[in-house]
A and B are shown apart, each in its own frame.
Chain A
């Protein structure tokens, strides 16, 4: 069952990823990315990362993607028409990216896996275990993230304000 679920959602994620790259209308790219994110959330569940699964659906598929949809609705449907100035770029970048994939494939085949540190999966990935890590060892980075979010919010407000000379 787990293997069937893995392959179904892996195929769905890859189809969605191809859709992100190939659709001409940005709104279809965004909806394909939602498909990828939901498939990846199932992967997180398979890897017993329940909290990451929930955050993936709420924050990513929920908030971030709705933000993208809002911006597309604001800017109107912009299609990619014709071809750009850098035509050689397409084939060249696909070549380089295939080389990158070959490199990553070789790396994945050559990984020396270590033995697991603990063997208890009943506790692993729960909200409690996440919280223990987040509020003890990694309290400092966690607090710094809140500053990052504050800076991002202020930056977004500053960038999207009305200019004085526009009024």
Chain B
């Protein structure tokens, strides 16, 4: 039974999962194709959001609150990741002008 009764209408749970998959894939394209480190971080946020949608969908389908709790946890982790990632980025940009993540391929400071 994959249909969810929402507002008196039947919506299929797989529609939500499909939207989640599409957004995750778009985020993956952004991470792989884009070269601006800031845009890569933004794409990671997009992927995390897509995963959250899948979690909440399954939570609703099973009527089990744990999926939503996990979505909240993943939001916390995403916020921490954004803070640390942006701090590292600002530190790098202060040292030099980076247009391309490939400019950062060496391991020296």
Chief secondary structure at chain A's binding surface = helix
Q: Are A159 and B57 in contact (CB under 8 A)?
A: no
Residues in chain A near residue B100, CB distance under 8 A: 80, 84-85
Q: Are A21 and B16 in contact (CB under 8 A)?
A: no
Q: Are A26 and B42 in contact (CB under 8 A)?
A: yes
Interface size on A, residues (CB 8 A): 86
Interface size on B, residues (CB 8 A): 75
Q: State which of B28, B29, B36, B46 has its C-beta within 8 Å of the C-beta of A80.
A: B36
Chief secondary structure at chain B's binding surface = helix
Residues in chain B near residue A155, CB distance under 8 A: 83-84, 87
Given A17-B27, A89-B32: A152 in contact with B99 (beta carbons within 8 A) = no
Given A47-B16, A100-B25: A71 in contact with B38 (beta carbons within 8 A) = yes
Q: How far is the CB of A112 from chain B (nearest CB, A)?
A: 9
Q: How far is the CB of A33 from chain B (nearest CB, A)?
A: 5
Residues in chain B near residue A94, CB distance under 8 A: 29, 33
Residues in chain A near residue B76, CB distance under 8 A: 145, 148-149
Residues in chain A near residue B33, CB distance under 8 A: 21, 89-90, 93-94
A1-B9, A3-B9, A72-B38 known, 9 other contacts, Cβ within 8 Å: A14-B19, A47-B6, A60-B78, A80-B34, A89-B33, A116-B1, A130-B72, A133-B66, A155-B83
Task: Give chain A's interface residues, CB within 8 Å of chain B.
Answer: 1-3, 6, 10, 13-14, 17-18, 20-21, 26, 29-30, 33, 36-37, 40, 43-44, 46-49, 51-52, 55-56, 59-60, 63-64, 67-68, 71-72, 74-75, 78, 80-81, 84-86, 89-90, 93-94, 96-98, 100-101, 104-105, 108-109, 111, 113-121, 124-125, 129-130, 132-134, 138, 141, 145, 148-149, 151-153, 155-156, 159-160
